[in-house]
Structure 1
Amino acid sequence: MNIAILHYSVPPIVGGVESVIGHHARLMSANGHSVRLIAARGESLNNKILLTELPLADSRHERVAHMKDQLDRGEVTPDFESLRDELVIQLQTTLASVDILIAHNVCSLNKNLALTAALYQLHISKKLPRLILWHHDLAWTTPRYQPELHDGYPWDLLRTDWGETSHVVVSHLRRRELSTLMKIQPDDIQIIPNGVDAARFYKLESQTQSLLEKTKLLDAAPILLLPVRVTPRKNIELALHTLAELRKQFPNAALVVTGPLGPHNADNHKYFEALSSLRAQLGLQHSAHFLTELTDSFLPDEVIADFYRIADALLFPSREEGFGIPLIEAAFSHLPAFCADIPPLRELGLNDAAFFSPDDDPAKISGMIAEYFQSSPAARLSMRARASFRWEAIYRQHIAPLLK
Structure 2
Amino acid sequence: MHYAAPPTIGGVEATLAAHARLFARHAYPVKIIAGCGAPFDPHIPLEIIPDADSQSPRVLQVNTELARGEVSPAFHALARDLTRALATALADCDLLIAHNALSLHKNLALTAALRELAGIRLIAWCHDFAWTDPQYAAALYPGLPWDLLRAPWANVTYVVVSRARQIELENLWKSRGDITVIPPGIEPREFFNFAEQTAQWIDQFDLRDAAPLLLLPARITRRKQIERAIEIVAALRARGDAAKLVITGPLGAHNPANAAYWNELRELRRARGVESAVIFLREFGSVEDAVRRDLFLIADALLFPSAREGFGIPILEAALARLPIFCSDLAPFRETARDHAHYFAPDASPAQIAQCITDTLARDHAYRLKQRVVKNYSWDRIFSERIEPLVNKGFEIRGEGFAVRARIGGLDKPRHKGEHDGRRA
User: Shared topology, TM-score over 0.5?
Assistant: yes
State how far apart, in whole Å, the 2-side matches of 1:396 and 1:121 are: 31
Counterpart in the other structure of 1:224: 214
Counterpart in the other structure of 1:152: 143
AA paired with 1:316? Answer: F
AA paired with 1:387? Answer: K
State how far apart, in whole Å, the 1-side matches of 2:101 and 2:384 are: 25
CA shift, 1:20, in A, is: 1.6
The structure 1 residue matched to 2:331, chosen from 343, 355, 361, is 343
CA shift, 1:195, in A, is: 3.0
- Please give the per-residue CA displacement for 1:273-328, whole angstroms capped at 9, x wherever unaligned: 44334334434333322212222x3x233321221122111111122223211112
CA shift, 1:250, in A, is: 5.6
The structure 2 residue matched to 1:175, chosen from 141, 166, 175, is 166
State how far apart, in whole Å, the 1-side matches of 2:237 and 2:170 are: 40
CA shift, 1:374, in A, is: 1.1
Work out which structure has the larger RCO, using CA pairs closer than 8 Å and 6 or more positions apart in sequence.
2
Counterpart in the other structure of 2:153: 162
Determine helix, strand or coil for the equivalent of 1:339: strand
AA paired with 2:304? Answer: F
State how far apart, in whole Å, the 1-side matches of 2:240 and 2:111 are: 48
AA paired with 1:375? Answer: R
Could you tell me which runs of 5 or more consecutive residues in structure 2 were left unpaired when the two chains were aligned: 393-425
Residue 109 of structure 2 is aligned to residue 120 of structure 1: no
Counterpart in the other structure of 2:236: 246
The structure 2 residue matched to 1:375, chosen from 347, 363, 373, is 363
Counterpart in the other structure of 1:387: 375
CA shift, 1:370, in A, is: 0.8
CA shift, 1:34, in A, is: 1.4
State how far apart, in whole Å, the 2-side matches of 1:34 and 1:65 are: 33
Counterpart in the other structure of 2:277: 287
CA contact (8 A) 2:212 2:241 kept: no
Written as runs of structure 1 = structure 2, the 5 A alignment for 1:56-75 is: 56-75=51-70
Deviates more, 1:30-39 or 1:74-83: 74-83
State how far apart, in whole Å, the 1-side matches of 2:309 and 2:181 are: 50
CA shift, 1:248, in A, is: 4.6
The structure 2 residue matched to 1:233, chosen from 197, 202, 223, is 223
CA shift, 1:241, in A, is: 2.0
CA shift, 1:93, in A, is: 1.7
Superposed CA RMSD: 2.1
State how far apart, in whole Å, the 2-side matches of 1:264 and 1:292 are: 17
CA contact (8 A) 1:92 1:127 kept: no
Residue 296 of structure 2 is aligned to residue 308 of structure 1: yes
AA paired with 2:366? Answer: A
AA paired with 1:127? Answer: G
The structure 2 residue matched to 1:399, chosen from 380, 387, 391, is 387
> How has the CA–CA distance of structure 1 residues 256 and 70 changed in structure 2, closer, same or farther, with 3 Å as cutoff?
same
Counterpart in the other structure of 2:31: 36
Determine helix, strand or coil for the equivalent of 1:68: helix
Ranges of 4+ aligned residues in structure 1 off by more than 6 Å: none
> How has the CA–CA distance of structure 1 residues 402 and 286 changed in structure 2, closer, same or farther, with 3 Å as cutoff?
farther
- Please give the per-residue CA displacement for 1:145-168, whole angstroms capped at 9, x wherever unaligned: 111111222211111111322222
CA contact (8 A) 1:225 1:315 kept: yes
AA paired with 2:58? Answer: R
Counterpart in the other structure of 2:78: 83
The structure 2 residue matched to 1:140, chosen from 125, 131, 140, is 131
AA paired with 1:147? Answer: A
Deviates more, 1:361-370 or 1:44-53: 44-53
Counterpart in the other structure of 1:52: 47
State how far apart, in whole Å, the 2-side matches of 1:91 and 1:249 are: 57
State how far apart, in whole Å, the 1-side matches of 2:147 and 2:159 are: 19
Question: What TM-score do you get using the length of structure 2 for normalisation?
Answer: 0.86
Counterpart in the other structure of 1:3: none
CA contact (8 A) 1:161 1:184 kept: no
> How has the CA–CA distance of structure 1 residues 329 and 95 changed in structure 2, closer, same or farther, with 3 Å as cutoff?
same
CA shift, 1:144, in A, is: 1.0
Question: What TM-score do you get using the length of structure 1 for normalisation?
Answer: 0.90
CA shift, 1:267, in A, is: 4.2
CA contact (8 A) 2:12 2:127 kept: yes
CA shift, 1:363, in A, is: 1.0
AA paired with 1:176? Answer: I
The structure 2 residue matched to 1:21, chosen from 16, 34, 38, is 16
AA paired with 1:120? Answer: R
State how far apart, in whole Å, the 1-side matches of 2:63 and 2:126 are: 21
Determine helix, strand or coil for the equivalent of 2:116: helix
State how far apart, in whole Å, the 2-side matches of 1:18 and 1:151 are: 30
CA contact (8 A) 1:314 1:338 kept: yes
State how far apart, in whole Å, the 2-side matches of 1:96 and 1:249 are: 56
Determine helix, strand or coil for the equivalent of 1:199: helix
Counterpart in the other structure of 2:406: none
Could you tell me which runs of 5 or more consecutive residues in structure 1 were left unpaired when the two chains were aligned: 1-5
Determine helix, strand or coil for the equivalent of 1:370: helix
AA paired with 2:222? Answer: P
State how far apart, in whole Å, the 2-side matches of 1:132 and 1:248 are: 46
> How has the CA–CA distance of structure 1 residues 246 and 141 changed in structure 2, closer, same or farther, with 3 Å as cutoff?
same
- Please give the per-residue CA displacement for 1:225-250, whole angstroms capped at 9, x wherever unaligned: 11112233222222122122223556
State how far apart, in whole Å, the 2-side matches of 1:119 and 1:105 are: 12
Structure with higher helix content = 1
- Please give the per-residue CA displacement for 1:180-220, whole angstroms capped at 9, x wherever unaligned: 2234536x322222233423433433332232232231332
Determine helix, strand or coil for the equivalent of 1:141: coil
Counterpart in the other structure of 2:247: 257
